[in-house]
Each structure stands twice: as structure tokens, then as C-alpha cells.
Structure 1
Amino acid sequence: MRFLRLIGTLLLLLAWVPAPATEPEFVTALTGKFPPFSHYDEKGELAGFDVDVSREIARRLQRESRIVATEWDGILAGLLAGKYDAIIGSMAITPEREKQVRFSRPYYQSGAQLFVHRDNPDKIYSIADCSGKRIGVVLGETYQRYLEKNCPEVEVVTFKSTVEIFEMLEQHRLAGFVTDRLVGSWQIKQADRPFVPVGPLLYTERIGIPVRRDEAALCKEINAALTAMEKDGTRKKLFDRYFGIAGTTSAGSGEMTLTTKTAKLLKGFGVTLLIAFLSVAIGFVLAVPAGVLLTARQGAWQIPAALARLFIDFIRGTPVLIQLLFVWLGLGLRPFPAAILTLGVCTMAYMAEAVRAGLISVDSGQNLAARALGLSAVDRFRFIIWPQAFRIALPSLMNSAVALVKDTALVSVISIPELIREAQSIISVTFEPGKYYLIAALMFFAVTFPLMKLAGRIEKRIGRKGFCND
């Protein structure tokens, strides 16, 4: 109980204790995986056109710039929940989005372009030639809706990033892909891939900066900053730095050093282990009383047991990702407390079932014999029931811990730089997904494999001490 109270206190402090007073911040969001607009440079720091625009606007607003890297498919939800002030991540202005947010004036224009493999085995020269063909797009971008609405004969396949699309097209598992003309040209050049644009632009896009609809004053200040940047030539200088006349650039495209890659992977791995450790600790501490409660069948404990059963079934029956987004967006917690609380409660639900299974596996005669010897209920549980139940539940408990370590990969969606997200940030620059996903997998295995072996050794040791009923 002391440990449980300590964990709870730490979570409350992380979630609600205000940060030290500093200058007013201008908090913006982007993905960090959309070069040359946002990516990580050779030093492992955010760079790109959108990053520079964000910092320049913050300077003109006389506020300190803080940039949050998050997943694109949840970026609007984070803005609406107040996690940041604006999104400066090359978001196109659309009527659907304007119903939810307030857009600034456009800060640049581009358009949707179809790209195919240079060999062009499907003989595609425009979008009209893509009937029945698989065309890739990034999930959540406007290209997906455009193709589904205007080209229903095209089979639209969604991916998390263009890196995955490049691999699929290289293997001829896609006929082509649609993305921004500027971005596609830059990424193809950087990745040295044999892809070429075909046909005219599908449509043009005005790119703006969304804020919440009730932030009219902030939108006005951003518009004033953009207007000033246009008049004094700052916006053009930034644009030319990254795109130039030909539409591509080498600005900010330096090779990420081995030291930087290693540091990013180790940092992400440390975050993963910290979240996993705290979540397992919370899950196990809560699982023991929850498992005991689930075994209650009589008396006043029936109603609490039924409520516990309903709650645990709900947690086990809903996706962890949805739970994570609900805690982060719905409850308003900061990313780290939200991740630890969500994964801890989720782990508790599965561990509670393992504890329950262990408890009901202990012969009821054990409890009766202990009562006959005059042992109290607490002593019966501590010395007779729990040692035997724990030995039975141990394999399932360790499986839950291993699963929890792997589930930490989900927390990247709420802006936490864990191992997978750091690997993806490297991949967005190097375009080598196979290499860095393999490294991430081996780092996970370096933790989970010893855990599985440790479970076997503990089980044998408990058996040798005679605490089990073999």
C-alpha cells in the first residue's frame, strides 16, 4: 500500500504540478517525419522549413518557441484538446478542417502529384491510367480523401509515412503514390529512388496554420507575423533555402552522424524502459487486490466484485490505443503520466486475471487447514494461499510484463519519444527502414528475452522451496 501511494503521488505530481515560470511559450506541433518541412538533422535536432517558420513566428510574437513532434493522424485531436497552440506542419486548408479549426492565411502553396517507378511497368502516365491499380498515400493526408472521392476506381492504400510507400513501390507492390509535389521531389532525391512524377498536378493546395476556433486573437497575431514575413522577404528566403528554383535543396539534409543515431536510439530505449518499469509496478500492485476481489462470490463483496469484473472486461476488450488517447485527450493529462497510467491499468487488467487463476487453483482444503490451525485471514493469504497462487500465476504475469514492454511502442502517438518513434525519426532522414526497425526489434528482444528466462528461474526456485503444490 505504501508503494501504491508513492506511485500515485508521483503520477499526480507529474500530471498537475505547474512547470517553473518562464517566458510565454508558443507551442506548435508537427510530425518531425516530413522532410524537408520537418525532420531531424545530423545533430538529432528538429529542422526544416516548417520548423524555421514556427520559430520565426514565435520570435515575432515575442514568445518562446516550443515544438512538439507527434503523429499526423492524431495531430488535430491534440490541438482541439489544447495540447499545443497551433499546428505548423504543412496542413492544407480544406472545408472539412475549417469546420473544426480556424486557419491562418496561407504561408505557401503546392499541389498533389502522382509519382510512379521509373520503369513504369503499369504504363501509367496520369491518374486516369490508375483504374484498378494500387496507389499509396499517407494516412490522414488530403490525398486519400481526394482519390476516394474523385477516383473511386483507384485502390487507395494508406501508410504511416512515405518511407513505407517507397519500400512498397521499390518492390513493385504499388503502381504509384500521391503526395505533395515539393515533398515528393525532395524525398526521392534524398533517398536516391528511381521514382518520377507523371501527369499534371491533381489539384493545388493552400497551406495554412490551424488554431482552435476560439483563438481568434492568436490567429490574427499569426496572420500579422506572416504578412510581415512576406513583406520583408523572410518567407521567400526560407522557402528558397529549402526548395530553390528547381524544387529541391540540400539545405538541412546533412547525413545524421552515427553518434547522433546511437544517442537517439538509446534515449528512446531509456524512455521505453522507464515507462515499462513504472507501468508494470503499478499493474502488479493493483492486480493483486483486484485478483482477490474477482474471486469473491459471497457476502458484501459480491457487488464490488461485479464492478471489478465489468471494469477489467472493459479494459481487456478495448484497444490500448483508444484508452491511451482517451486518457491523454479526455482527462487532460500530460503525455508521460497518461502513458504510465494507461499502460499500468491495462497491465493490471491482464495480471488480475492471472492472479485470479492462481488463487482459484489452490485447493480449498489448504485454507481450511490453515483456519483450523488458528491462522488469521492475512496470515493464511501471506503464508499459505499466495505463495502457491503466485507460482501458478507467474508465467502469465511475466507474459503480461513482456507484452507491456512491447505495447510501449503505442505511446509515440501522444508525442512521447520512445524507441520506435526515435527509430522512425532516423528512418525519415536515412530512408533505411529495414535496418533501423531491425535494430529496434533487437533492443526490445534484449529486454524481453531475459524476462522470459528470469520467469523460468524464479518458478524453479519457488518450486525448490516447497511453496508449490506440484
Structure 2
Amino acid sequence: MSRRITALVLTAVAALALTACSSGAPADPAASGEGDDFGLVTAGTLTVATEGTYRPFTFHDESGELVGFDVEIAEAVADRLGLEVVFQETQWDAIFTGLDAGRFDVIANQVSINPEREEKYLFSEPYTVSPGVIVVPEDDDSITSFADLEGKTTAQSLTSNWYELAQDSGADIEAVEGWAQAVALLQQGRVDATINDSLTFLDYEKSEGPTGLKIAAETDDPAYNAFAFTRDKSALVEAVDKALAELRDEGVLAEISEKYFGADVTQ
């Protein structure tokens, strides 16, 4: 009698398992092996680190919702991969430490690819290309190259790479705290130019324009910004690259870029 009861129980368990396998419910990435391939922090979810305080890339709108260029790119990639997306807001100083500790799968925060980072991390294909630019008043045609900065005065933050570029170009430097102060001095006619990345200028033009300013010249070696991963995430990087290529071909990346910058900065 006990053997018959056991057999009935086993039959019922097998039937339940068969029903679960044949149901129309979405497959669990972990169960399908996909989660194992990607090595996700949480199966079926792309956990993304971002600052949440870096407008227009990752910030909170008037309603408090996390939005921004990098946020929308990450959401589009996760959707293409069939994954949920969860953002973990993290200060920049701690963001790579959190990635190393396995708290999230990827950083989406305008991370520039450079040799030092490539020694330790994997990167997706770039989704942002941003040269350095000289910004001048729109009626000034005296500066058309970096060589023309010789003897001119530029407004620069002393801790930025742009300060070094201005100095190497022979410019006199007016020290400022950041972009807002540099632009104010430029519009007041107190300096001749300022150097920054093109994204900063395009965002300013989009949000404040017309500003009476223009790009006079740009660097030959733009910064390439991408998603950053630990070196054990090669399968995830490959999948993200495929998703980015599809989104680029379909014009989705350009559409998101136009929304935030009024130009396509993804090529």
C-alpha cells in the first residue's frame, strides 16, 4: 500500500513538472543557461550602476524618476536582451569598487575607454563619441584651430584634461570651477575661448540655446565612452555589443541622442 502511494505521488510530481515545462510562461534565463553564460548578479535582470546625478546622462527629472541618455541606452539594451533592468545609484568614486565586488553587472555612466582601464576591465563597443572642442563667441573667426590659441586666454578648470590641452596650445589660462563659470566669462567677453568636450557644449546648446557660442575646432582623437564590465563577463559583453549594433542600425541610438543633444553622438 505504501509503495502504491509513493508511486502516485511521484506520478503527480512528474505531471506537475511536465505542465511547468510546457506552459507559456517566459523562460527563466538561469534555467535556460543564459543566466549562467552571462554571470548576472540576479538571473533575468541586468543590474546597472550609474550616478543619478550626472545630467544629461543620468539624473532625476522633476517627478523624481531616473532618466538620462545613458539610462535610456541601458534600458534599450536590456530590453533587446530580454532582461529586466535595475539601476543602482552609486557615487563615481565607489562605482568601480562596486563593480569589482560583484554588486552589479555593468557601469553605464559615460565611462571613457583608456589603456589603464582596459588592463582591468572589458568594454562594450562605444555608444558615445566625443571630441574635445574649442568654444568661442559665434562672431569670432580668429580661432579655427588649436594653434590659434597661442597668446589667447581660455577659461579652464585647473584639474581637467582640457587645462593641459589649453596650456600645451600656448593659451593663457583663466582658472574657473567648471563649465558654467567658463561660459559666463566667455559670454561676458572676459576670455577668448574655453575647451571642453563636445557633449557638454551640445547639452548646453540644447537646454539653453541659442547661446551666441559656436565650436571653432575639435580634437582629432575623440573620447570613446562605453559600458564597463569585469573581465569575466565576456559573454555578456558580446551580447551587449550585438544589441548595440542592432539598435544603431535601427536608428534607436540616434533617436535617443537627438533627444538629449540635438545631434547624433553615437557614431
For Structure 1 versus Structure 2, the TM-score category normalised by the shorter chain is 0.5 to 0.7
Shift of 1:54: 1.0
Pairing partner for 1:59 from 79, 100, 118: 79
Amino acid at match of 1:38: T
Q: Taking structure 1 as reference, are residues 219 and 247 closer, same or farther at Cα in structure 2, changes over 3 Å only?
A: closer
Which residue does 1:104 correspond to in 2?
Answer: 124
Which residue does 1:28 correspond to in 2?
Answer: 49
Q: Taking structure 1 as reference, are residues 45 and 108 closer, same or farther at Cα in structure 2, changes over 3 Å only?
A: same
What SS does structure 1 have at the residue aligned with 2:248? helix
- Structure 1: gaps of 5 or more residues: 1-20, 249-470
Shift of 1:84: 3.6
- Do the aligned partners of 1:102 and 1:219 also contact (CA within 8 Å) in 2? yes
C-alpha distance in 2, partners of 1:174/1:100? Answer: 40
C-alpha distance in 1, partners of 2:43/2:119? Answer: 34
State whether structure 2 residue 248 is matched by structure 1 residue 230.
yes
Which residue does 1:373 correspond to in 2?
Answer: none
Which residue does 2:33 correspond to in 1?
Answer: none
Pairing partner for 2:154 from 119, 122, 134: 134
C-alpha distance in 1, partners of 2:176/2:106? Answer: 25
What SS does structure 2 have at the residue aligned with 1:203? coil
C-alpha distance in 1, partners of 2:90/2:145? Answer: 33
- Do the aligned partners of 1:29 and 1:84 also contact (CA within 8 Å) in 2? no
What are the superposed Cα offsets for residues 162-217 of structure 1, whole Å, 9 maximum, x if unpaired? 33433444455654322332441231342243322112444333332111233323
- Do the aligned partners of 2:145 and 2:217 also contact (CA within 8 Å) in 1? yes
C-alpha distance in 1, partners of 2:229/2:258? Answer: 26
Shift of 1:102: 1.3
Task: Describe how 1:205-354 pairs up with structure 2 within 5 A.
Answer: 205-243=223-261
- Structure 2: gaps of 5 or more residues: 1-41
- Do the aligned partners of 2:133 and 2:198 also contact (CA within 8 Å) in 1? yes
What SS does structure 2 have at the residue aligned with 1:237? helix
What SS does structure 1 have at the residue aligned with 2:85? strand
Amino acid at match of 2:50: A
C-alpha distance in 1, partners of 2:190/2:245? Answer: 45
Q: Taking structure 1 as reference, are residues 236 and 200 closer, same or farther at Cα in structure 2, changes over 3 Å only?
A: closer
- Do the aligned partners of 2:50 and 2:58 also contact (CA within 8 Å) in 1? no
Which residue does 2:133 correspond to in 1?
Answer: 113
Amino acid at match of 2:147: A
Amino acid at match of 1:65: V
What are the superposed Cα offsets for residues 354-373 of structure 1, whole Å, 9 maximum, x if unpaired? xxxxxxxxxxxxxxxxxxxx
Q: Taking structure 1 as reference, are residues 74 and 114 closer, same or farther at Cα in structure 2, changes over 3 Å only?
A: farther
Which residue does 1:166 correspond to in 2?
Answer: 183
The higher-RCO structure (CA 8 Å, 6+ apart) is 2
Q: Taking structure 1 as reference, are residues 112 and 173 closer, same or farther at Cα in structure 2, changes over 3 Å only?
A: same
- Do the aligned partners of 1:41 and 1:47 also contact (CA within 8 Å) in 2? yes
Shift of 1:126: 2.7
State whether structure 2 residue 193 is matched by structure 1 residue 176.
yes
What are the superposed Cα offsets for residues 45-77 of structure 1, whole Å, 9 maximum, x if unpaired? 232221111111222344332334455566445
State whether structure 2 residue 213 is matched by structure 1 residue 195.
yes
Amino acid at match of 1:34: R
Structure (1/2) with the larger helix percentage: 1
Pairing partner for 2:110 from 90, 98, 118: 90
Aligned residues: 222
* Larger Rg computed on CA atoms: 1
What SS does structure 2 have at the residue aligned with 1:217? helix
Amino acid at match of 2:180: V
- Do the aligned partners of 2:203 and 2:260 also contact (CA within 8 Å) in 1? no
Structure 1 vs Structure 2 CA RMSD:
3.8
Shift of 1:115: 0.7
What SS does structure 2 have at the residue aligned with 1:186? helix
- Do the aligned partners of 2:113 and 2:223 also contact (CA within 8 Å) in 1? yes
C-alpha distance in 2, partners of 1:116/1:81? Answer: 44
What are the superposed Cα offsets for residues 436-456 of structure 1, whole Å, 9 maximum, x if unpaired? xxxxxxxxxxxxxxxxxxxxx
TM-score, reference length from structure 2: 0.64
C-alpha distance in 2, partners of 1:134/1:162? Answer: 12
Amino acid at match of 1:235: L
Identity %: 28
C-alpha distance in 2, partners of 1:103/1:219? Answer: 7
C-alpha distance in 2, partners of 1:138/1:191? Answer: 25
C-alpha distance in 2, partners of 1:42/1:138? Answer: 32
Structure (1/2) with the larger strand percentage: 2
Shift of 1:114: 1.1
